[in-house]
């Protein structure tokens, strides 16, 4: 039996001076304990994945290259724009394991579960990119497809940057549907998702939520057995690497609509965190925290009043 929240001390590896706010993982976990009353022993510590499971998302040559890189960590800058020490690679492995376990929890409970990390959607099967070494989304979904018979799955990627690695890795998988809402004029070079909605620079709450409504209609029509929600915090108006203008309140409404569209229909939702690069780390943590809060609230409402939680 899997625990619905997944987190590990290994998530907090060291990228000193890097723009990626690795401290957010522990801070988010601590807020779940302190403010939501979730006991520490209800937060799962994911078990390491075996190589065969990692190979569901990546080539053997690439995994070997990552392992060799740990002897020369600075080579990671050329691969995915960050160092690749032993500590870093083990952290990525742990987050992939966390996403596998969170998917297991979502499928078991038919409700909401989350990895308090993960969402590394720029990693391709054969290479890393954009701060992403291991694509936990692809590994997690492929493991669920192999081990638990997961059929139709939807990936809803709401990071400001398109999930290019995920889109490419799953493009030939008929059971997986990928949807991305992102800033069009931003990194990366785009791959083709099953549904892409590229927003203009500085699009705010109104434009964003209108695009989300269109995407949710298409995603619900896929009749999925699972929604994998890539709940990026970087569409935020004060994000340093994004160019959209979503407010904190806009994020809350985004999450409310996503959870309402699926949990209210009995479709499990598994969330991963993805990006978020605001100057104030506490803003990133707040966006992730209210996503968890909203998922719990909508799930509880769905249980009490099925079909009436949107």
**How far is the C-alpha of 144 from the C-alpha of 166, rounded, in Å?**
16
Using one digit for the tens of pLDDT, what is the confidence trace for 240-254?
999 999 999 999 999
Distance CA 53, CA 267 (A): 25
* Count: domains in the chain: 1
Give a yes or no: residue 3 inside a domain. Answer: no
User: Does residue 148 lie in a domain region?
Assistant: yes
- Whether 1 maps to a domain, the answer reads no
**pLDDT band, very low/low/confident/very high, at 16 (cuts 50, 70, 90):** confident
What is the per-residue pLDDT across 218-231, written as a single tens digit (0 to 9) for each?
A: 999 999 999 999 99
Residue 111 belongs to some domain of the structure: yes
- Pair 166, 132: CB distance under 8 Å: no
Separation of alpha carbons 154 and 168, rounded Å? 15
User: Tens digit of pLDDT for each residue in 143-158?
Assistant: 999 999 999 999 999 9
- 175 falls within a domain: yes
Tell whether 297 is covered by a domain: yes
Q: What is the full DSSP assignment across 137-185?
A: HHHHHHHHHHHH---SEEEEE-SSS--HHHHHHTTT-TTEEEEEEEESS
Q: What is the mean pLDDT of the chain?
A: 97
Q: How many CB atoms lie within 10 A of CB 303?
A: 11
Residue ranges with strand state E in 27-150: 43-44, 112-115
- Residue 13 belongs to a domain: no
121-132 residue pLDDT tens: 999 999 999 999
Assigned domain for 236 exists: yes
Residue 246 main-chain phi, psi, to 5 deg: -70, 135
In angstroms, what CA-CA distances link 118 with 15, 97, 138? Answer: 16, 9, 11
- CB under 8 Å to 253, separation ≥6 — which residues? 205, 209
Strands of 195-199's sheet, edge to edge? Answer: 43-44, 5-6, 112-115, 269-272, 226-230, 153-157, 176-183, 195-199
**Where in the sequence is the domain holding 258, given as residue range(s)?**
20-302
Note the pLDDT tens digit of each residue in 83-112: 999 999 999 999 999 999 999 999 999 999
Compute φ and ψ for 66, nearest 5 degrees: -60, -45
**CATH of residue 43:** 3.40.800.20
């Amino acid at each position: 039996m899997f625990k619905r929240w997944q987190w590990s001390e290994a998530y907090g590896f060291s990228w000193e001076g890097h723009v990626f706010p690795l401290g957010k993982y522990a801070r988010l976990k601590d807020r779940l304990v302190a403010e939501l009353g979730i006991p520490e022993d209800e937060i799962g510590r994911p078990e390491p994945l075996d190589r065969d499971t990692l190979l569901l998302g990546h080539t053997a040559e690439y995994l070997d290259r990552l392992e060799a890189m740990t002897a020369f960590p600075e080579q990671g800058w050329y691969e995915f724009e960050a160092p690749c020490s032993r500590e870093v690679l083990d952290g990525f492995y742990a987050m992939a394991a966390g996403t596998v376990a969170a998917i297991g929890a979502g499928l078991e409970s038919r409700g909401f579960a989350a990895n308090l990390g993960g969402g590394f959607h720029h990693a391709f099967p054969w290479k890393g990119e954009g701060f992403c070494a291991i694509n936990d989304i692809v590994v997690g979904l492929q493991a669920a497809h192999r081990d638990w018979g997961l059929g139709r799955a939807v990936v809803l990627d709401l990071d400001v940057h398109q999930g290019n690695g995920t889109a490419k890795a799953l493009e030939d998988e008929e059971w997986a549907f990928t949807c991305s809402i992102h800033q069009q004029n931003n990194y990366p070079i785009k791959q083709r998702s099953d549904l892409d909605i590229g927003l203009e620079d500085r699009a705010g709450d109104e434009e964003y939520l209108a695009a989300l409504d269109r995407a949710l209609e298409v995603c619900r029509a896929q009749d999925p057995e699972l929604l994998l929600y890539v709940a990026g915090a970087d569409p935020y108006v004060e994000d340093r690497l994004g160019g959209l203008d979503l407010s904190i309140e806009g994020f809350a409404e985004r999450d409310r609509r996503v959870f309402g569209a699926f949990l209210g229909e009995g479709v499990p939702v598994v969330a991963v965190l993805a990006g978020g690069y605001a100057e104030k780390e506490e803003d990133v943590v707040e966006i992730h925290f209210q996503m968890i809060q909203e998922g719990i609230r909508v799930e509880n409402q769905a249980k009490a009043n099925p079909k009436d939680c949107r």
